[in-house]
């Protein structure tokens, strides 16, 4: 009874979540939005196995997420990130850019537009 746990540890929850994300969004190499496309593009061969290495998978997911965020900033601002930094916009202007990014790419409304489905027609967990 020394090692009795009432719930899985945070590590195991993260592990299962990242594996689920991989399997749901894997798709094929030919689809540019699927994770398999990015896996082959970045040469992450170890992610093609049935149970990929956790650290490699987290590193990969972080890389994809950060690059997408950088792409959103460049798209909304209409300039490169280095040019954006040199422009020294005010905090209010930067906040306005962030709000546009949120509403255009991250919010549930943006997801509905991308998938072409309303939130009511999608499956939900709760």
Q: Which residue has the higher pLDDT, 1 or 23?
A: 23
Across 11-15, 17-21, 71-75, the highest mean pLDDT is recorded for 71-75
Q: How far apart are CA 78 and CA 73, in angstroms?
A: 8
pLDDT surpassing 80 at residue 18 = yes
Q: How far apart are CA 96 and CA 84, in angstroms?
A: 14
What digits encode the pLDDT tens for the residues 46-101? 776 777 788 888 888 888 888 888 999 899 888 898 898 898 889 999 999 999 88
Residue pair 112/118 in contact by the 8 Å Cβ criterion:
yes
Average confidence (pLDDT) over 34-48: 78
Task: Please report the pLDDT score of residue 123 as a whole number.
Answer: 53
DSSP H helical ranges for 1-126: 10-25, 35-42, 54-77, 81-87, 91-101, 108-115
Please provide the average confidence, as pLDDT, over all residues in the chain: 79
Structure tokens at 109: 């409304």
Largest separation between any pair of C-alpha atoms in the chain:
61
Which pLDDT band holds residue 126 (cuts at 50, 70, 90)? very low
Structure tokens at 57: 């998978």
């Amino acid at each position: 009874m020394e090692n009795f746990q009432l719930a899985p540890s945070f590590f195991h929850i993260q592990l299962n979540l990242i594996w689920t994300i991989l399997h749901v969004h894997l798709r094929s190499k030919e689809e540019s939005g699927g994770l398999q496309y990015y896996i082959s593009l970045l040469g992450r061969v170890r992610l093609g196995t049935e149970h990929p290495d956790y650290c490699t998978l987290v590193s990969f997911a972080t890389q994809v997420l950060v690059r997408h965020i950088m792409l959103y900033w460049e798209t909304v601002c209409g300039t490169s990130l280095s040019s954006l930094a040199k422009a020294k916009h005010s905090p209010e202007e930067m906040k306005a850019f962030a709000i546009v990014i949120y509403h255009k790419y991250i919010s549930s409304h943006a997801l509905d537009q991308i998938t072409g489905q309303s939130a009511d027609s999608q499956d939900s967990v709760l």
